[in-house]
Structures are given as C-alpha cells and as structure tokens.
Amino acid sequence: MNIFLENVLMLLSQKQISKNKMLTDLKLGKNSFINWENRGTIPSGETLYKIADYFNVSIDYLLGRTDDPNLHKK
C-alpha cells in the first residue's frame, strides 16, 4: 500500500467518513480507491488538491513528504 493511500485511509478513519461519502462529496469516480489500492496509483494534481482541501491538510502530508498535516498548506 502506498503512503498516499495509507494517509487517506487514516484521515477517513479519524473523521469517521466512508470511502463512498468522500468520493461522492468530491465527485470522484467510484473506482478511484480500487485504482489507488490495486494499481498503486496516485491521483492527478487537481484531485490531490481536492482531497487535501477536503481533509484540510497539505498535499505534502498526503504524499508522505511531511508528518505535519499543516506544513506548506496553500
């Protein structure tokens, strides 16, 4: 599992939000998690921004470049 997916799953758990709710709220495809899990892919820049804004964390945090969710936040 890639660090991006681990961080998203942790944030979902902390906020008690389901995968489906997040995907619906962000208007992302239903197969997004399948692609991230099975293919080890990371979303495009635009989607990363949406996810970071949704959880109020930085993209660097989502990608595992920092342990501080607020570091380099836009």
pLDDT digits (tens, 9 = 90+) for 45-74: 999 999 999 999 999 999 999 887 776 555
Higher-scoring residue by pLDDT: 35, 73 = 35
CA angle 45/50/56 to nearest 5° reads: 120
What pLDDT sits at residue 69?
77
Q: How far apart are CA 68 and CA 65, in angstroms?
A: 9
State how far the alpha carbon of 65 is from the alpha carbons of 37, 39, 46, 55, 57, in Å: 19, 21, 18, 16, 12
- Cβ distance 34 to 23 under 8 Å? no
Average pLDDT along the chain? 90
